[in-house]
Amino acid sequence: MYKIFYSPGACALASHIALAETGADYEAVRLNFQTGEQRSPDYLKINPKGRVPALVTPKGILTETPAILVYLAQTFPKAKLASLDDPWAFAQAQAFNSYLCSTVHVHHAHRTRGTRWADDAAAIEGMKKKVAQNMTDAYDLIERDMFKGPWVTGEAYSMCDPYLFTLSTWLESDGVDIARFPKVNDHYKRMLQRPATQRAMKEQGLSA
């Protein structure tokens, strides 16, 4: 039995969807960020970073979305979440997910988590004002150069798709119209039709 810790709509949704895709038995555990549950002593024993996702596995606890996605792809090869027999394709998928993690997610976090980088109110406000442009620039790059279609890495669905979908759910709140990215927008709509996406969103109490 696996256990995935999440906060509704946070980046853990990507791992949650991928876990649902594997068909494995799991329990989804909600953390209330509004009350600081992610900083509770009990959760810090699970993830000392005080963040989500955290995945409890038979071998131990994993954190960080890219690592969890790779683990699920390799542990459940029948789910076909990655091209495990093609080192080049596997590396390309990891490069895409690394960009989402290191750049796109950070752009978004400047709106909601500015205090991670600055204490000055004016500086934090300045970061917020850049979020829409930074997210637009990142998605322009994804749309133009990184998205192969019809799925992120090409013809086959992969571990990249739930990750892109999850970050795409943030665009509206970041002041960006997803419709300006036709391929990403189509991808978003098709992701909503997948049973694993629907299951994970329902378990998180999210509306499609």
Give the tens place of pLDDT for each residue, 143-199: 999 999 999 999 999 999 999 999 999 999 999 999 999 999 999 999 999 999 999
Q: Say if residue 112 is in the same domain as residue 188.
A: yes
Q: Around Cβ 42, how many Cβ atoms within 10 Å? A: 7
Q: Say if residue 66 is in the same domain as residue 95.
A: no
For residues 29 and 3, the answer to whether their CB atoms sit within 8 Å is yes
Q: Say if residue 25 is in the same domain as residue 106.
A: no
Domain that holds residue 63: 2-80+198-204
Q: Say if residue 105 is in the same domain as residue 172.
A: yes
Q: Average per-residue pLDDT in the chain?
A: 97
Q: Say if residue 70 is in the same domain as residue 99.
A: no
Q: Which of 59, 63, 48 is nearest to 4 (CA)?
A: 63
- What gap in Å lies between CA 12 and CA 15, rounded to an integer? 5
Q: Express as a percent the part of the chain with pLDDT over 70.
A: 100
Q: Say if residue 158 is in the same domain as residue 72.
A: no
Q: Say if residue 91 is in the same domain as residue 191.
A: yes
Cα angle for residues 189, 195, 198 (degrees, 5° grid)? 65
Give Cβ neighbours of residue 46 (< 8 Å, ≥ 6 apart): 5, 54, 56, 61
Q: Say if residue 94 is in the same domain as residue 50.
A: no
> What's the number of domains the chain is made of?
2
Q: Say if residue 98 is in the same domain as residue 175.
A: yes
CATH of the domain at 156: 1.20.1050.10
Q: Which of 92, 95, 183, 168 is nearest to 136 (CA)?
A: 168
